[in-house]
């Protein structure tokens, strides 16, 4: 074979290779519900975002390839702590799409790999996210006010509970006789309490608040205190109403 034919053959094989390489791709994404943003967050490769724990992330490969050229695709997702690296992954799963819940504070990295395989020709093509995805789970926090004045004046109308990155919550509000009036869970702790039971306002007075919670950073919160319900109080008044 002369040199000109060799050049033409190499050019043909190169064009064939480029065609095959461009025929398959992936557009991996990572999504999760953000408590702070109060909406679903979608991350593309190279994106970074903060979140509260527990944070359930959904990793989607979004494969794009010609099935006539490749028989199968082997996918791999890795989720790891940034300070430990991907050699010590928290999750290493060979699936196209995966979900995983981040429960500890700190920085996390997510990477995706795929190998496109043609069994008949032996042709393979490897895909890898170069930049990956970064998620930073915030440290925990739990505080609450001491009183509420549910009189619809838009001021202190409910017991305000400020919380962040809690992974376990158990809490109750009881009256002076020990009857449970309200139960706090991980799902409703941030809503606080509006001073009502079954839609009806409670009487003014003192109530017992007890919350036991664990944060994403391992902190254990134990709050037990008296809270006051003063429905006749208005901040424009000097003192609570006698009503």
Q: How many CA atoms lie within 13 A of 205 on its CB side?
A: 11
Q: What is the pLDDT of residue 71?
A: 87
pLDDT in tens, 18-69: 444 455 689 999 999 998 888 999 999 999 999 999 999 999 999 988 887 8
Structural fold of domain 3-137: Immunoglobulin-like (2.60.40)
Quickly list DSSP for 48-97.
EEEEPSSEEEEEE--EEE-TTT-SEEEEEEEEEETTT-TTS-SEEE-SSE
CA dihedral 202, 208, 212, 216 (to 10 degrees): 60
User: Do the first three CATH levels of 3-137 and 141-229 match, i.e. the same topology?
Assistant: yes
Task: For the chain, give the longest Cα–Cα distance.
Answer: 108
pLDDT in tens, 182-219: 999 999 999 999 999 999 999 999 999 999 999 999 99
pLDDT in tens, 91-144: 999 999 999 999 999 999 999 999 999 988 888 899 999 999 999 999 999 999
Q: What is the pLDDT of residue 122?
A: 85
Q: What is the pLDDT of residue 23?
A: 56
Does the domain at 141-229 match CATH 3.30.390.10? Answer given as no
Which of 73-77, 153-157, 237-241 shows the lowest mean pLDDT across its residues? 237-241
The Cα 232–Cα 195 span in angstroms is 13
Q: What is the pLDDT of residue 228?
A: 96
The Cα 106–Cα 134 span in angstroms is 11
Give the pair of three-digit tokens for residue 166.
């809690």
Q: Domain map of the chain by residue range?
A: 3-137, 141-229
The Cα 54–Cα 164 span in angstroms is 10
Give the pair of three-digit tokens for residue 235.
């901040």
Share of the chain above pLDDT 70, in %: 85
Share of the chain above pLDDT 90, in %: 73
pLDDT in tens, 11-22: 434 444 444 445
Q: What is the pLDDT of residue 123?
A: 87
At residue 178, does pLDDT exceed 50?
A: yes
């Amino acid at each position: 074979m002369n040199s000109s034919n060799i050049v033409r053959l190499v050019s043909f094989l190169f064009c064939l290779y480029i065609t095959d390489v461009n025929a398959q791709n992936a557009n991996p994404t990572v999504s999760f519900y953000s408590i702070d943003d109060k909406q679903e967050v979608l991350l593309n490769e190279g994106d970074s975002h903060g979140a509260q724990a527990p944070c359930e992330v959904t990793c989607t490969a979004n494969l794009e390839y010609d099935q006539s050229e490749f028989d199968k695709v082997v996918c791999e997702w890795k989720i790891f702590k940034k300070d430990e690296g991907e050699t010590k992954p928290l999750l290493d799963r060979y699936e196209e799409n995966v979900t995983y819940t981040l429960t500890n504070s700190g920085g996390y990295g997510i990477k995706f790999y795929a190998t496109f395989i043609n069994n008949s020709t032996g042709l393979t093509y490897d895909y890898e996210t170069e930049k990956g995805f970064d998620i930073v789970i915030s440290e925990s926090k739990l505080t609450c006010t001491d009183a509420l004045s549910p009189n619809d004046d838009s001021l202190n109308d409910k017991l305000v509970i400020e919380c962040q990155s809690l992974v376990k919550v158990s809490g109750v509000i009881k009256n002076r006789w020990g009857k449970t009036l309200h139960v706090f869970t991980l799902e409703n702790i941030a809503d606080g309490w509006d001073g009502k039971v079954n839609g009806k306002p409670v009487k003014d007075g003192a109530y017992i608040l007890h919350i036991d919670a664990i944060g994403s950073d391992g902190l254990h919160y134990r709050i037990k205190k008296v809270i006051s319900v003063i429905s006749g109080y208005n901040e424009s008044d000097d003192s609570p109403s006698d009503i």
